[in-house]
Structure 1
Amino acid sequence: MTRPDMDDLEKPLARTGFVHLAFSVGSPEAVDRLTAQLAADGYRVASGPRTTGDGYYESCIVALEGNQIEITV
């Protein structure tokens, strides 16, 4: 949606509301490959690939409107 009177304000990664989507890609190798491809395509890698404190292997990419796309096993 666009209107002349709308502001597109900076969106910090840590905020209330909808902030990320997660996709399972099946293996750590697939997480690595997709993260590398998205980085090569110009997307910012916010974290990872890494094993989180609770044992998940994942990375997070910053996508449209500052939302994070979590890529996980």
Structure 2
Amino acid sequence: MKIEHVAIWVKDIERMKEFYTHYFGAECNSLYVNEKKGFASYFLTFSSGSRLELMNKVGINEHSLPEHLGWAHVAFSVGSKEEVDRLTKKIGKDGYTVKGNPRITGDGYYESVIEDPEGNVVEITI
């Protein structure tokens, strides 16, 4: 068994698509739109086969309650300490928030913690 995909509600679907394709190498399908429901989504596929669905719907905006948007965190494995360091530095240099610089955690992970454009927590691990 495997998780087929994870979905996240987003405010700015295009900006979020660009972030995950640019920094994490995701391939993106065409935008799906259901005008009757006011719904749109992209599926992003990563090199491992994992997929992330970015979803937007009329009414999901800056006035929505925080617990109705996003996740606790998602972790991306990038394969090495050097790549964790490099990607964290690049994301910070590009103006995104680095919440935690690369380190070994209490449970043995080597990781950094950043925020995507909408403030969702992303861990970058080996």
Normalised TM-score (structure 2): 0.46
Question: Any stretches of 5+ residues in structure 2 without a counterpart?
Answer: 1-55
Aligned length: 69
Q: 1:64: how far off?
A: 2.7
Task: Give the Cα separation in 2 of the matches to 1:35 and 1:6.
Answer: 29
Secondary structure in 2 aligned to 1:65?
coil
Structure 2 match to 1:55: 108
Question: Any stretches of 5+ residues in structure 1 without a counterpart?
Answer: none
Write out per-residue CA displacement over residues 10-56 of structure 1, whole angstroms, 9 at most, x where no aligned residue: 85xxx797122110000101000000000010011001211000110
Moved over 3 A (4+): none
| Rg larger in structure | 2
Structure 1 match to 2:84: 31
Structure 2 match to 1:64: 117
Task: Give the Cα separation in 1 of the matches to 2:101 and 2:85.
Answer: 9
One-letter identity of the residue aligned with 2:118? E
Q: 1:65: how far off?
A: 2.1
RMSD, matched Cα: 2.5
Matched, 1:8 2:62: yes
Task: Give the Cα separation in 2 of the matches to 1:26 and 1:41.
Answer: 22
One-letter identity of the residue aligned with 2:73? H
Q: 1:2: how far off?
A: 7.5
